[in-house]
């Protein structure tokens, strides 16, 4: 290893905290823990700026204006969550959110403002009032990430880049350290792993590793989103919950994966449809008006499933997003798109597409995990010394469906709460006080059925797992597909050799998390929120073939 191995803190030393992940949740937790006197080591398996936060085009929702109310934001969140949110967690999120946004502003986040210096705010789907702040137009996440990374660099927090947290070290029933695997730069931009994992002693581990997008053939997530934190927590004995709720974004520029050299998938914000862009099939016909009264502005899950159904009818080819008619009174379409959506415009044109003249291909993609490692309101899991914040955590704020622009807010709010709590928890542990969280121990995994005869399930590849999850554990599910996925994953897990390098560890984590998602999806036999079962015969039928949900039309225009 290229960094020293630290011993666990002595009784008279400050608490040593390892934070795994460098998105808004991890960076915020690190800053607050350091501010409380902890010694903090931030570990990230890529560059410190590479996190899901960096790719967030949407904004951050918070009640920042006198004509809005925290109670309204809370109610909107509860309604979006389809009755499965934790009301106490929602109350924390919405009441503390404004203070955390002001903190981001103080840290240097330049949210968009009017010429008079007033914060600009947008209205997003399912919000009852305009309360969504943006930065850099459609580059909110990148602006937040840059400001937080700059502040962490000044804070005295130690940073280990290109380093994977492999597992938590548990001794005496609590976290006493972490095992890590560090990559070293290789020739011609390649990387080679170190010979063996090393150990860092610590009093607490904060998991802030993001989501699970790399499980799916189509995703908006960067390739680092391999479910590491969920796998680490599960192996440590922590409880996971609501993993069946994976949100799929309807409109993403597709990728052909690295081997085709086309570039990564890229999210095209709902705001483009909010400005008037429409969806067409490959023949140029609009199809959403036949599906839902709100057409392209229907709820996100309805639009995503409608696109997937249309793609099946046209042999899997993407549908088309037509923005060629968008313009203001005094602007051409090309200028309007470049100024209103600078990040998207650059990404589209980098692919050789002129979306001001020609519709662009889009496909649904896995976007956000609503479930994860179960925590209390301070980010604590059921394992003493183990915390989880951000997308990897199941705080209870999202329920079955995340309200738009609550994800960055969750990272800021609960990252801060965990960071502030660790020092006090460590002092309590040293004084012999019991861990204040009593979450049930998760049940042992049930024996999965054998794979069907003739199935070559031993030849695991990451691409094969992604296609399996997309086909059977994606936007539309049923018992037969879930049973098939469970059997294949079981065979793959049994045949997987011991990890030798970083990618091997990622593959093992992906398989573990895939197994947990499938088990959760099989256990929930009724459709709710982002979890849609085509074999749920008791739900109202829907005009899309194979879909049964009913949704009320939206009110208002999506502008962010």
H-helix segments, 156-290: 228-236, 270-274
Per-block mean pLDDT, blocks of 10 residues, the chain (560 long): 47 89 96 96 86 77 96 94 95 98 96 93 84 88 94 94 95 96 66 71 97 93 93 96 95 64 72 89 96 84 90 92 83 88 91 94 94 98 97 96 93 98 93 84 48 55 95 95 96 92 95 97 95 85 44 34
Beta-carbon contacts of residue 333 (< 8 Å; ≥ 6 apart): 323, 324, 325, 326, 327, 356, 357
120 catalytic, yes or no? no
Q: Cα angle vertex 514, ends 512, 519, to 5°?
A: 100
Q: How many CB atoms lie within 10 A of CB 239?
A: 18
Q: Does CATH number 3.30.70.260 belong to domain 16-245+370-430?
A: no
pLDDT at 243: 98
Can you give the pLDDT at residue 31?
Answer: 97
pLDDT of residue 357: 94
The arrangement of strands across the sheet holding 393-394 comes to 240-241, 372-374, 393-394
Annotated domain spans of the chain: 16-245+370-430, 250-366, 446-549
What are the tokens at 84?
Answer: 């499965």
Sequence-distant contacts of 351-359: CB under 8 A, at least 24 apart: 351/253, 351/262, 351/263, 355/321, 355/323, 355/324, 356/323, 356/324, 356/332, 357/324, 357/333, 358/324, 359/280, 359/284, 359/320, 359/321, 359/322, 359/323, 359/324
- Exposed (0-12), middle (13-18) or buried (19+): which is 296, by Cβ within 10 Å? buried
10 Å Cβ neighbour count for 311? 18
Catalytic residue selected from 121, 131, 151, 300: 300
DSSP-derived secondary structure letter, 460: -
Strand partners, 61: 132
> How far apart (Å, rounded) are the C-alpha atoms in residues 547 and 231?
32
What pLDDT, on the 0 to 100 scale, is given for residue 56?
Answer: 74
Instruction: List 278's β-bridge partners, or say none.
Output: 322
DSSP codes, 222-249: -TT-S-HHHHHHHHHT--EE-TT-EEEE
Half-sphere exposure of 213 (CA within 13 A, CB side): 27
Supply the pLDDT for residue 445: 47
Burial of 161 from C-beta contacts in 10 A (0-12 / 13-18 / 19+): middle
Count CA within 13 A, CB hemisphere, residue 496. Answer: 23
What architecture is domain 250-366?
Alpha-Beta Complex (3.90)
Per-residue model confidence (pLDDT) at position 539: 64
d(CA 209, CA 389): 8
Whether 517 and 509 have beta carbons less than 8 Å apart is answered as: no
What integer pLDDT is reported at residue 112 of this predicted model?
92
Strands (E), 370-510: 372-374, 386-388, 393-394
3-class DSSP state of 313:
helix
Second-level CATH architecture of 446-549:
Up-down Bundle (1.20)
Q: Which of 33, 387, 8, 13 is nearest to 172 (CA)?
A: 8
Q: What is the pLDDT of residue 458?
A: 58
State the Cα torsion 475-478-482-483 to the nearest 10°. Answer: -170
Give residue 551's pLDDT: 39
What pLDDT sits at residue 61?
A: 95
Q: Judge whether 135 and 143 are in contact, CB under 8 Å.
A: yes
* Same fold yes or no, 16-245+370-430 and 250-366: no
């Amino acid at each position: 290893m290229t960094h020293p191995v630290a011993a666990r803190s002595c009784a008279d030393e400050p608490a040593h905290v390892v934070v795994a992940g460098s998105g808004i949740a991890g960076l915020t937790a690190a800053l607050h823990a350091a501010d409380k006197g902890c010694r903090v080591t931030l570990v990230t398996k890529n560059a410190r700026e590479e996190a899901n936060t960096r790719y967030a085009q949407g904004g951050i929702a918070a009640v920042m204006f006198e004509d809005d109310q925290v109670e309204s934001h809370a109610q909107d969140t509860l309604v979006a969550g389809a009755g499965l949110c934790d009301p106490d967690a929602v109350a924390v999120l919405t009441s503390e959110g404004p203070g955390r946004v002001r903190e981001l502003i103080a840290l240097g986040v330049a949210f968009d403002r009017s010429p008079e210096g007033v914060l600009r705010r947008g209205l997003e789907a399912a919000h009852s009032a305009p309360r969504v702040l943006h930065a850099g137009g459609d580059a909110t996440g990148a602006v937040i990430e840059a400001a937080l990374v700059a502040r962490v660099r000044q804070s005295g927090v130690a940073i280990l880049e290109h380093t994977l947290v492999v597992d938590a070290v548990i001794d005496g029933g609590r976290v006493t350290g972490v095992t890590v695997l560090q990559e070293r730069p290789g020739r011609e931009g390649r990387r080679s792993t170190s010979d063996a994992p090393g150990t860092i002693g610590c009093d607490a581990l904060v998991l802030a590793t993001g989501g699970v997008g790399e499980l799916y053939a189509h995703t908006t997530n960067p390739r680092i989103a391999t479910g590491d934190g969920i796998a680490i927590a599960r192996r440590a004995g922590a409880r996971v919950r609501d993993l069946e709720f994976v949100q799929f974004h309807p409109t993403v520029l597709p990728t052909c994966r690295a081997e085709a050299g086309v570039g990564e998938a890229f999210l095209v914000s709902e705001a483009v449809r909010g400005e008037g862009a429409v969806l067409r099939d490959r023949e140029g016909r609009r199809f959403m008006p036949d599906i839902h009264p709100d057409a392209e502005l229907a709820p996100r899950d309805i639009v995503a499933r409608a696109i997937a159904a249309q793609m099946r009818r046209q042999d899997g080819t993407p549908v088309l997003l037509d923005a060629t008619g968008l313009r203001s009174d005094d602007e051409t379409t090309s200028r309007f798109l470049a100024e209103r959506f600078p990040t998207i415009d650059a990404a589209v044109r980098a692919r050789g597409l002129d979306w001001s003249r020609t519709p662009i291909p889009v496909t649904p993609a896995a976007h956000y995990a609503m479930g994860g490692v179960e925590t209390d309101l301070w980010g604590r899991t059921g394992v003493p010394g183990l915390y989880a914040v951000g997308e990897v955590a199941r705080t209870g704020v999202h329920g079955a469906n995340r309200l738009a622009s609550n994800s960055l807010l969750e990272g800021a709010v609960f990252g801060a709460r965990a960071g502030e709590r660790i020092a006090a928890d460590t002092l309590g542990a040293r004084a012999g006080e019991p861990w204040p969280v009593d979450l049930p121990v998760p049940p042992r995994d049930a024996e999965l059925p054998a794979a069907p005869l003739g199935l070559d399930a031993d030849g695991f590849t990451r691409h094969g797992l992604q296609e399996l999850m997309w086909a059977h554990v994606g936007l539309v599910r049923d018992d037969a597909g879930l049973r098939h996925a469970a059997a294949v994953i079981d065979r793959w897990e049994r045949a997987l050799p011991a990890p030798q390098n970083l990618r091997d560890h990622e593959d093992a984590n992906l398989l573990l998390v895939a197994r947990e998602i499938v088990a959760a999806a099989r256990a929930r036999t009724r459709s709710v929120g982002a979890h849609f079962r085509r074999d749920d015969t008791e739900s109202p039928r829907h005009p899309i073939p194979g879909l049964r949900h009913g949704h009320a039309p939206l009110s208002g225009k999506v502008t962010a």
